[in-house]
Structure 1
Amino acid sequence: MAKETVVVVCPGRGTYNAPELGYLARHHAGSPWLAHFDAVRAAAGKPALTELDWAAKFDPAVHLRGDVAAPLIHACAFHDFLKLDRERFEVVAVTGNSMGWYTALACAGAVSGEHGFAIADAMGVNSQKHESGGQAVIVMAGEDWRVDPATARGVEAACAKVGVLPSIRLGGMLVVAGPEAALDALGRELPPLPRPPLRLAGHGPFHTPLMQASATAARASLPAAWFGAPQVPLIDGRGKVWRRFETDSTELWDYTFGHQILAAYDFTAAMTVALREFAPDRVVLLGPGETLGGAIGQVITALGWLDITTKSVFSLRQEEDPFLVAMGREAQRRIVAI
């Protein structure tokens, strides 16, 4: 029987929350990789991931901090990737959202598993090195997942007026970033929206020039020698595809700790390229959580992919035979995991 082709998506910050507490314990207890990750953190005087994941209670002040959230999310996603049933599924491309790019590097084989964790762990710390500022999520899509072009133009104009920059393009949503005062002023300039903008607690002005300190720290401590060519195509936050026999590893390092940190991350473009260029039988969203599923569904709907043109059609398809398989959702996990 021919294998089904899949594009793998690695999640970023904001995907390990109270419902995900214990994710590693439930799905990956006893993993040698997890033991290695814990040993690396112990050597650096950091709490073990198993200790954090197996805590009696989710503590936002702890679990949502960058130096905790980043390695936890990476470990969950990387382990999920290793659980894919390779006898039945062929990975034809890998991409990620924001911090998920570091996990995507490891899943695609552009860096080793050891170096992938070292990068994610270090960037969890580095992500806290930035000028003052934060992020907010602007929901532009209505209940039908459609974005009114006039609304999109109004949001763009409001952001430009107060000095807020696009941070992540996320289907029918736009994550913006900038100084706190600019984010405070943004709400007064925005056009009518399906819901008010949501400030992201504990997030810095990611994917903007305000993250220069983070980029500088990354370049100083995470060497280009760790990088090689990906073993499967790797789609970055511009929609560029890095291929095995075409990749300059130094350029990949430069993108990872330059543009990827300091400029807007276009997850919409990445997913558009993933669908149009690789035409997978399914899209697999690694855990933890499944919050990125809505954005992926919005991209699919906007493209009319597989004749999915509305949210209701997407939902019906998901009930019958999921095209988007979220490993953070137990029923769907069983479709692709060993």
Structure 2
Amino acid sequence: MRTAVVICPGRGTYGAAELGYLARHHAGAGEIAAFDAIRAAAGQETVSALDGAERFSTAKHTRGDAASPLIYACSLLDALSLTGVEVVAVTGNSMGWYTALAAAGAVTPTAGFEIANTMGTLMQAHMIGGQLVYPFLGDDWRPDPARKAALLEIVAGIGARAGHVLGLSIDLGGMLVLAGNAEGLAAFEAAVPRVDRFPMRLANHAGFHTELQAPVAAEGQSRLGVELFGGPRRPLIDGRGHIWWPHATDPAQLRAYTLGHQVTEPYDFTRAIATAAREFAPDLFIVTGPGTTMGGAVAQSLVLAGWQGLACREDVRAASAAAPFIVSMGDPGQRALLG
């Protein structure tokens, strides 16, 4: 049986093409009714209604209080549907950490939904700061640590200015996701050359994984108790590259990380993937849906880690042609590879 690391995506992965994802892939799943009940009790539109909308609305579907529960539901049910592979570890990107908690068995599906829905709702209600994305790798994906260091130096310089807040939010393969206030984001946009569509602002995204989110972290801690958390049944890799092991995890510490560091400090997805590759050497890296955008970040992270001699984009293409090792469940053709 093939071994696999499961990777749960974060915000920005449920778009127009994903409308109806739950209905297409998971109609009748009992978890959906439970998720809908939680939303209905809070006076919120159910995930079934959001997923079943006649058309996709950027204004509605990308809000934190809609995108987070939708992505969680799609991603977790994909993870739970996996058969024919041995899942040796679980990780996620940003909001995908909440899904990873449930996929690894550290929280129940409904507890994970409560966490994702609560934090997404709080971030939307506060909406402190914003995010943008900027690449530091070229089209060939060859590692360029000097360019990354130079960009981070620009970020640090802007963040040190009076009235400016800017910092690294997510280390995402060959991309830097930056977060800050309006002044900090605008200063970065003025300081760097335009590369295709970048720097690109992310709609309805707050300043995640920075000190700006301290009020959100505090309110999340007041609403979400330790009783929601347990120890994982599978190894769980967080946004520092740290592994939470079965039978060796303190639920209180896992909660403290989830509602503290994970909210207010940078999320190192690149390191999480490097840890997954080096510590577990899986046959497959399975990216759950929705969306298909995370596969590139996973591949870039493996190149940056030098995994199995990968040094550039062409190496990834050649290795994938010989034996696909990154599978995005949001892509129907790749999903079929899982049987």
Letter of the 1:257 counterpart: L
Partner of 1:181: 183
Q: Cα offset for 1:195?
A: 5.5
Partner of 2:75: 77
Structure 2 counterparts to residues 1-338 of structure 1, below 5 A:
3-85=1-83, 88-130=84-126, 132-163=128-159, 164-190=166-192, 196-336=198-338
Q: Give the Cα–Cα distance (whole angstroms) in 1 for the partners of residues 330 and 33 of structure 2.
A: 22
Letter of the 1:158 counterpart: I
Q: Secondary structure at the match of 1:30?
A: coil
Q: Secondary structure at the match of 1:73?
A: helix
Deviations 1:147-180 (A, max 9, x none): 4333212211111111110000011111011111
Q: Secondary structure at the match of 2:107?
A: coil
Contact kept? 2:143, 2:311, Cα under 8 Å: no
| Aligned positions, number | 333
Q: Cα offset for 1:131?
A: 6.7
Partner of 2:163: none
Q: Give the Cα–Cα distance (whole angstroms) in 2 for the partners of residues 250 and 306 of structure 1.
A: 37
Change (3 A) 1:211 1:129: farther
Of 179-188 and 308-317, more deviation after overlay is shown by 308-317
Q: Cα offset for 1:129?
A: 4.6
Q: Give the Cα–Cα distance (whole angstroms) in 1 for the partners of residues 126 and 271 of structure 2.
A: 26
Of 240-249 and 148-157, more deviation after overlay is shown by 148-157
Q: Give the Cα–Cα distance (whole angstroms) in 1 for the partners of residues 198 and 43 of structure 2.
A: 41
Deviations 1:303-335 (A, max 9, x none): 232333221221233344310011001111122
Contact kept? 2:129, 2:182, Cα under 8 Å: yes
Deviations 1:209-255 (A, max 9, x none): 10011101110110011111100100000000000122111010000
Change (3 A) 1:22 1:230: same
Contact kept? 1:130, 1:210, Cα under 8 Å: no
Contact kept? 1:130, 1:212, Cα under 8 Å: no
Letter of the 1:331 counterpart: G
Letter of the 1:27 counterpart: H
Of 319-328 and 168-177, more deviation after overlay is shown by 319-328
Q: Give the Cα–Cα distance (whole angstroms) in 2 for the partners of residues 260 and 55 of structure 1.
A: 32
Q: Secondary structure at the match of 1:258?
A: helix
Q: Secondary structure at the match of 2:239?
A: coil
Q: Cα offset for 1:206?
A: 0.3
Q: Secondary structure at the match of 1:128?
A: helix
Over the aligned positions, Cα root-mean-square deviation in angstroms equals: 1.5
Q: Give the Cα–Cα distance (whole angstroms) in 2 for the partners of residues 45 and 112 of structure 1.
A: 22
Letter of the 1:258 counterpart: G
Q: Give the Cα–Cα distance (whole angstroms) in 1 for the partners of residues 194 and 239 of structure 2.
A: 29
Q: Give the Cα–Cα distance (whole angstroms) in 2 for the partners of residues 109 and 20 of structure 1.
A: 26
Contact kept? 1:10, 1:96, Cα under 8 Å: yes
Q: Secondary structure at the match of 1:284?
A: strand
Contiguous gaps of at least 5 residues in structure 2: 160-165
Q: Cα offset for 1:279?
A: 0.4
Percent sequence identity over aligned pairs:
49
Contact kept? 2:221, 2:259, Cα under 8 Å: yes
Contact kept? 1:170, 1:268, Cα under 8 Å: yes
Contact kept? 2:106, 2:229, Cα under 8 Å: yes
Which TM-score applies when normalising by structure 1? 0.95
Q: Give the Cα–Cα distance (whole angstroms) in 2 for the partners of residues 24 and 335 of structure 1.
A: 20
Q: Give the Cα–Cα distance (whole angstroms) in 1 for the partners of residues 196 and 282 of structure 2.
A: 32
Q: Give the Cα–Cα distance (whole angstroms) in 1 for the partners of residues 319 and 279 of structure 2.
A: 22
Q: Cα offset for 1:132?
A: 3.6
Of 17-26 and 186-195, more deviation after overlay is shown by 186-195
Q: Give the Cα–Cα distance (whole angstroms) in 1 for the partners of residues 106 and 47 of structure 2.
A: 24
Deviations 1:259-318 (A, max 9, x none): 000000000110000000000011100000111111101011222323332212212333
